[in-house]
Amino acid sequence: MAPATVRAAVCGATGYLGAQCVEILDRHPGIELTRVLGRGAAGRRFSDAVPGSRVTLEVDAGVDPGDADVVFAALPHTVAASHVREWLSAGRVVVDMSADFRLRDPLAYARWYGVEHPAPDLCEEAVYSLVELHRDAIAGADLLAIPGCYPTASLLATVPALRAGLVETEITIDAKSGVSGAGRSPALAYHFAEVNESVSAYGVSGHRHKSEMLQELAAAAGREVRLTFVPHLIPVTRGILATVYLRPVAGRGPADVTELMRELCDGNPFLRYADRPPATKSVTGSNVAAINVTDQDGVAVVTVVADNLVKGGAGQAVQAANLRLGFEETAGLLGASPWP
Amino acid sequence: MAPATVRAAVCGATGYLGAQCVEILDRHPGIELTRVLGRGAAGRRFSDAVPGSRVTLEVDAGVDPGDADVVFAALPHTVAASHVREWLSAGRVVVDMSADFRLRDPLAYARWYGVEHPAPDLCEEAVYSLVELHRDAIAGADLLAIPGCYPTASLLATVPALRAGLVETEITIDAKSGVSGAGRSPALAYHFAEVNESVSAYGVSGHRHKSEMLQELAAAAGREVRLTFVPHLIPVTRGILATVYLRPVAGRGPADVTELMRELCDGNPFLRYADRPPATKSVTGSNVAAINVTDQDGVAVVTVVADNLVKGGAGQAVQAANLRLGFEETAGLLGASPWP
Amino acid sequence: MAPATVRAAVCGATGYLGAQCVEILDRHPGIELTRVLGRGAAGRRFSDAVPGSRVTLEVDAGVDPGDADVVFAALPHTVAASHVREWLSAGRVVVDMSADFRLRDPLAYARWYGVEHPAPDLCEEAVYSLVELHRDAIAGADLLAIPGCYPTASLLATVPALRAGLVETEITIDAKSGVSGAGRSPALAYHFAEVNESVSAYGVSGHRHKSEMLQELAAAAGREVRLTFVPHLIPVTRGILATVYLRPVAGRGPADVTELMRELCDGNPFLRYADRPPATKSVTGSNVAAINVTDQDGVAVVTVVADNLVKGGAGQAVQAANLRLGFEETAGLLGASPWP
Amino acid sequence: MAPATVRAAVCGATGYLGAQCVEILDRHPGIELTRVLGRGAAGRRFSDAVPGSRVTLEVDAGVDPGDADVVFAALPHTVAASHVREWLSAGRVVVDMSADFRLRDPLAYARWYGVEHPAPDLCEEAVYSLVELHRDAIAGADLLAIPGCYPTASLLATVPALRAGLVETEITIDAKSGVSGAGRSPALAYHFAEVNESVSAYGVSGHRHKSEMLQELAAAAGREVRLTFVPHLIPVTRGILATVYLRPVAGRGPADVTELMRELCDGNPFLRYADRPPATKSVTGSNVAAINVTDQDGVAVVTVVADNLVKGGAGQAVQAANLRLGFEETAGLLGASPWP
């Protein structure tokens, strides 16, 4: 049953993830965007802070979602966690795009993020909302934790094969991300003349997103997984590519992984099996993740591409909210080409 | 007569212009780089602040050039002007890449830069060092004012024809600059995801570089010139292109401008006449400005390209210093491919 | 009155302009895409030839639009002209994105394109469909000539002021285009390593698009206009920027042009007045043209940006077709983020 | 003892690798460039075919090196092999940048390149000239086989640790290359609008460069190595990055690999140990390879960056030739910033 119109607020609305969320909600047939919140641009029209947007709501300071039924939060870590209880207690659904509720274990959060969790008791309640892998749990949850862009691409490539027992638990993931993944705050590391015409690895000793991957991979495998994960910065605005190296267990081969992934794609509106390793450009601006499996001398090389701000962020947030709120899974997610 | 080795210091050494200057001087056969100064990176090795450099001098805070005979200054406007007297009084040659000594009239400086000139009496003494247009004056000067990148390209395209009386004094210049021209300080306007895949005009109501162009154009024409100058930001790291629209005076045509520019190029080691409108890439990393003149229905369309950090900045600074110090004009300027 | 569903075919469907048209039509609420035609990819699924597309129609060779009511043609010049009579005689509406029917005078066509016009008698019948400037004529036409991307941006900037008699008829237009404007056929001039990190002027002695601009400018001014038009290649995929230099007639000033353009934007769903010179990125993927007028010492500098494949091509084609077929002007034009 | 001036010819001179070689040789203090050969641009001045070059030799058709003492060949595979015997028999040194003499086993060549080797008996004679790893063999060789760009980066990262017995022989290499690595021939896959703003894997089932890596890794390890190698296309013009995943053998750790690589860098003028994972931009235009080793939970992640056309091609060719001809290893290799 389709719900009556739902009112939504977006926190952190003028960052890239928040702005992407605003654009999607603005086109959503069942959701009315009633409030956009953001510190930096408070008092300005949204379209003045985000070039090209047709949303002219005034940006509010603070984190009061007003009469919104659902809150989409694209805030720095710890900020959303400090307000979620208040939002939930007013009967709202909360869709959090930060890292705050991705880890079930508040101690792991403290270890990886270097700060105590502001609402440790809520960690257990949150649902890790990588839709295609956790569809059933989402429908009944009030606190949806949207995975990061790296985990989205990486887990789509690995969890199905681990669940099916097809591959070894020693896994290497080499990921490449566009620069918008680093957000909209200026810094030398994302200054045009430094980034342009260059590629480099970063976070090699241990990127924070590794923590949620370890959690999800262990759950899929039923035991610890030995993961090596190296992210790279690529001079494109949008796009993420995970190149995943999986070794089939004895008696299995890359073809089994291929078949499994074809089936997964067939059953999900936003997954597409690509006959050749897909280019990030083939999914730019869309909520689709494209997947290929290729056999290289017995190793299953899985490549997954997505738009880091859509399927790797705000698109997945709306996709998960659609399931929770009773909309079509694809509602509001078939158009859109926003900034940046 | 070739001089003995000259010692040089670079102020503002870790910005793009300063770093480019450091790289050139490091390879210069007659100059020894003895000191690099810079606020942000003080105490670190130069090569740690500027990736890829092989210069390992420690960066000093402050503006004391030590025992240097010549000071190359790549500082924000007003900063160099506050120290030049001191540098000069110790018998040093000063090569200033800022805007501080480009305008002869300190009042014009105050008007365009919104601040009183810190050393107004020195303005008259400085030589505007666009080498090909002011070669004679440079040899005897102790204070060399290096033109900005926009003026370098724009004046090379216009001054010769104005001096020769070939063209009208109503001139339109549409210029395109790479992002490194905006310097190395992070800002949203130069954040990769904002700049990439985009082009826009800026400073349309009146860019500061217009002031020095007005001065030089008037000197060339012998009277006021009506200039319209619009700069644009292009998503490339290096490179500047000026597209200049000149209307020949009665009895003259674009072919006269072509001939004049061919001759100019023939007589200068760092100017190259291009048979077709040149691409900025053809001069990236070099001190060459390439020039073409094309006739479009009677209008002489002059296109000039240069590397904004080399011929449009540090390269020209060294070229001018070479003349002043008695080196070959091309000394140190035939290699180099530095950051960014 | 909204029409029953209209069937459409796209010729030249796997080039950039054609593919953009396919993507828009695929999302159009009142148009059913029934046939995609294209030489190179004949026999393959459309989505195999255009990565990321969800259109799975098989690409047909030839130029038979089948049972389509409307034909969108994105073909090389002379090709569409050779088939239009046949398409029209079957009662179809033809929307031609090539240059074939933009010039009313077949002799001018021969002069600028170096080939005799294949259907000279149809030139008079075609309507030059820059929607905001020729809205009334479009509703009754069966042959719609969609302007090129350069003319779209350039004429939006100039025609209104010329019609209103606000500006002189000596006009300079300096335009910058993304590389997709050159089409999808590989050539050294558009090879990544040649184009990337570079900018250059081209077609300086006379670009073909100048012909249709001269025609339209003369019609607007009521007399010959002296136009200087220089296009530039910019290393972005999509986007066009026209920087237009207009001199107000005596008694008028840039403010009059500003006011006129604000009004124009207010009355058109796909024009947006920007308070500052707009960046092409602010309209990427959309059918909007954004316009700014800035006064530089008495000259009205008008900047217009558009996505060259949407408002500068396929988007405008659908916008014009909407008017002709009785759909909402914006139908099908509010989403979309296609390749490239 | 420095040799008298050596005369050099470059075959395939107007491709990217050939042109890079020409630029380096043009600045080389001991080598005189006497002939440039190339099919496509035959009869034109070199500087007309390669924008920005100052080399004005006329390009010759054919493959006759004239009076050159040394031939640098940048030709498609099989072409050089067909002429090498002739070149050698005239007493010349041959520096081949193609794949023709990298494999010792002509049968492996036939298998990987799908064509019979044109000069199988010469395979044994050639020296695989990755300078830092095969320095001793180069001095006495007349046929130098320059490694590909992927192998250069990949082998520098792996061979030392394998030779020292520090790591397991199951190795994963995820490599990223700029587009110039694909050469200068236009193709849709390297068309600006297709490549720009995108990243993808290719050659996943087995890239040809894997063959020479397998050969060299096996030689280093003293036994078969199980290599998984996946190359990626990155939207930059120049630059290559290999991210290499090495598992230390029992009793050893990443710190041992770090120490080994630091020592290697200390002893070689063109290797630089970087304290953090290096960006390709830090070596653009130079012959330096920068290397970092980082420990991620016990795995040694080695990142190596190089300019694919310099250290990954023409620079290494000249570096090897310098050793063979008795020049300083660095002769001619400290400047240069050429097209593209």
Residue C138 contacts residue C129 (beta carbons within 8 Å)? yes
Residue A2 has a pLDDT of: 55
Band of residue C334 on the pLDDT scale cut at 50, 70, 90: confident
Q: What is the ipTM of this complex?
A: 0.96
Contacts of C313 (CB under 8 A, 6+ apart): C17, C20, C21, C74, C97, C146, C149
Nearest chain D alpha carbon to A290: D200
Of C178, C186, C197, the CB nearest to D191: C186
Average pLDDT over residues D146-166: 98
CB atoms within 10 A of CB A275: 8
The CA distance from C340 to the nearest CA of chain D, in Å, is: 6
Q: What is the pLDDT of residues B142-163, one digit of tens each?
A: 999 999 999 999 999 999 999 9
pLDDT at D219 over 60: yes
Q: Which helix (H) or strand (E) holds B94?
A: strand B93-96
CB contact under 8 A, B279 and C199: yes
Nearest chain B alpha carbon to D290: B52
The CA distance from C35 to the nearest CA of chain A, in Å, is: 22
Residue B219 has a pLDDT of: 98
CB contact under 8 A, C278 and A51: yes
pLDDT at B336 over 80: no
Q: C-alpha distances in angstroms, D212 versus A246, D10, D201?
A: 24, 24, 20
Residue D334 has a pLDDT of: 84
DSSP line for A247-314: -BPTT--HHHHHHHHHHHHHT-TTEEE-SSPPPGGGGTTSS-EEEEEEEETTEEEEEEEE-TTIIIII
Residue A338 has a pLDDT of: 44
Interface test with A, best of C23, C282, C311 (most A CBs within 10 A): C282
> What is the percent of chain B where pLDDT is above 70?
98
| Closest among C20, C60, C17, C71 to C36, alpha carbons compared | C60
Interface of D with B (CB under 8 A): 27, 51-52, 196-197, 278-279, 281-286, 288, 290, 334-337, 339-340
Residue A50 has a pLDDT of: 93
Nearest chain D alpha carbon to B278: D51
Residue D340 has a pLDDT of: 58
Residue C151 contacts residue C130 (beta carbons within 8 Å)? yes
CB contact under 8 A, A199 and D236: yes
CB atoms within 10 A of CB B209: 23
CB contact under 8 A, C197 and B281: yes
Band of residue B2 on the pLDDT scale cut at 50, 70, 90: low
Interface of C with D (CB under 8 A): 16, 178-180, 184, 186-188, 190-197, 235-237, 340
Of A202, A236, A305, the CB nearest to D235: A236
**Strands laid side by side in the D127-128 sheet:** D59-60, D31-37, D6-11, D70-73, D93-96, D143-145, D127-128
CB contact under 8 A, D277 and A206: no
pLDDT at D34 over 90: yes
The CA distance from A90 to the nearest CA of chain C, in Å, is: 34
Return the CATH superfamily for domain A6-125: NAD(P)-binding Rossmann-like Domain (3.40.50.720)
> Which CATH class name applies to D150-308?
alpha beta
Band of residue C5 on the pLDDT scale cut at 50, 70, 90: confident
pLDDT at D67 over 50: yes
The CA distance from A272 to the nearest CA of chain D, in Å, is: 16
DSSP line for D166-186: -B-SEEEEEEEE-GGGG-SS-
The dihedrals phi and psi of B115, each to the nearest 5 degrees, come to -155, 145
Residue B4 has a pLDDT of: 75
| Closest among A312, A259, A261 to A283, alpha carbons compared | A312
Of A52, A286, A336, the CB nearest to C52: A286
pLDDT at C267 over 90: yes
Band of residue B340 on the pLDDT scale cut at 50, 70, 90: low
Residue B189 contacts residue A233 (beta carbons within 8 Å)? no
DSSP line for A194-236: HHTT--EE--TT--THHHHHHHHHHHHHTS--EEEEEEEE-S-
Catalytic residue among C21, C123, C149, C265: C149
Contacts of B58 (CB under 8 A, 6+ apart): B36, B43, B44, B45, B46
Torsion of CA A190, A194, A199, A205, to 10 degrees: -60
Q: What is the pLDDT of residues C120-150, one digit of tens each?
A: 999 999 999 999 999 999 999 999 999 999 9
Residues of D within 8 A of C236 (CB-CB) are: 196
The dihedrals phi and psi of B207, each to the nearest 5 degrees, come to -80, 145
The residue type at A328: E
Looking at the annotation, which residues of D are catalytic? 149
Nearest chain A alpha carbon to C285: A337
Residue A40 has a pLDDT of: 86
Q: What is the pLDDT of residues B160-200, one digit of tens each?
A: 999 999 999 999 999 999 999 999 999 999 999 999 999 99
Provide the CA C195 distance to its chain's centre, in angstroms.
23
Average pLDDT over residues C248-254: 98
pLDDT at C338 over 50: no
The CA distance from D98 to the nearest CA of chain B, in Å, is: 26
Interface test with C, best of D190, D192, D234, D337 (most C CBs within 10 A): D192
pLDDT at C339 over 50: no
Average pLDDT over residues D160-177: 98
Neighbour-count burial of A278, counting CB atoms closer than 10 A to its CB (0-12 exposed, 13-18 middle, 19+ buried): buried
Catalytic residue among A11, A21, A123, A149: A149
Residues of D within 8 A of B334 (CB-CB) are: 27, 335
- pLDDT (tens place) for every residue of chain A, 340 residues total: 456 789 999 999 999 999 999 999 999 999 999 999 998 899 999 999 999 898 999 999 989 999 999 999 999 999 999 999 999 999 999 999 999 999 999 999 999 999 999 999 999 999 999 999 999 999 999 999 999 999 999 999 999 999 999 999 999 999 999 999 999 999 999 999 999 999 999 999 999 999 999 999 999 999 999 999 999 999 999 999 999 999 999 999 999 999 999 999 999 999 999 999 999 999 999 999 999 999 999 999 999 999 999 999 999 999 999 999 999 999 999 875 544 5
Of D193, D197, D340, the CB nearest to C194: D340
Identify the bridge partners of residue C70 per DSSP, sorted by sequence position: C8, C93
Q: Which chains touch C (3 or more CB pairs under 8 A)?
A: A, B, D
Average pLDDT over residues D322-332: 96
Nearest chain A alpha carbon to C289: A52
Q: Which helix (H) or strand (E) holds A143?
A: strand A143-145
Residues of D within 8 A of C191 (CB-CB) are: 184, 186, 190-192
Band of residue D338 on the pLDDT scale cut at 50, 70, 90: very low
Average pLDDT over residues C99-109: 96
Of D172, D197, D230, the CB nearest to A281: D197
Q: From CA B307, how far away is CA A221, in angstroms rounded? A: 55
Helix, coil or strand: residue C260: helix
Residue B338 has a pLDDT of: 43
CB contact under 8 A, A201 and D232: no
Q: What is the pLDDT of residues C221-243, one digit of tens each?
A: 999 999 999 999 999 999 999 99
C49 HSE (CA, 13 A, CB side): 27
CB contact under 8 A, B190 and A195: no
CB atoms within 10 A of CB A135: 15
**Strands laid side by side in the C31-37 sheet:** C59-60, C31-37, C6-11, C70-73, C93-96, C143-145, C127-128
pLDDT at D109 over 80: yes
Work out the mean pLDDT of chain B and round it to a whole number: 95
Catalytic residue among B11, B21, B149, B265: B149
CB atoms within 10 A of CB B52: 25
Return the CATH superfamily for domain C150-307: Dihydrodipicolinate Reductase; domain 2 (3.30.360.10)
Return the CATH number of C6-147+311-325, one of 3.40.50.300, 1.10.10.10, 3.40.50.10190, 3.40.50.720: 3.40.50.720
Residues of D within 8 A of A198 (CB-CB) are: 236, 239, 279-282, 284
Band of residue B40 on the pLDDT scale cut at 50, 70, 90: confident
Average pLDDT over residues C184-206: 96
Signed CA dihedral, C312, C314, C320, C323: sign only = negative
Q: Which chains touch D (3 or more CB pairs under 8 A)?
A: A, B, C
> What is the percent of chain B where pLDDT is above 90?
94
Nearest chain D alpha carbon to A276: D202
Domain layout of chain C by residue ranges: 6-147+311-325, 150-307
Residues of C within 8 A of D236 (CB-CB) are: 196
Q: From CA D340, how far away is CA D337, in angstroms rounded? A: 9
Provide the CA A326 distance to its chain's centre, in angstroms.
20
Band of residue C176 on the pLDDT scale cut at 50, 70, 90: very high
Q: What is the pLDDT of residues B256-272, one digit of tens each?
A: 999 999 999 999 999 99
How does C313-340 read in b/e, with b if 16+ C-beta sit within 10 Å? Answer: bbbbbbbbbbbbbebebebbbebbbbbb
Q: From CA C12, how far away is CA D240, in angstroms rounded? A: 37
Q: Which chains touch A (3 or more CB pairs under 8 A)?
A: B, C, D
Rounded to the nearest 10 degrees, the angle between the axes of helix A106-113 and helix A209-221 is 140
Interface of A with C (CB under 8 A): 27, 51-52, 196-197, 278-279, 281-286, 288, 290, 334-337, 339-340
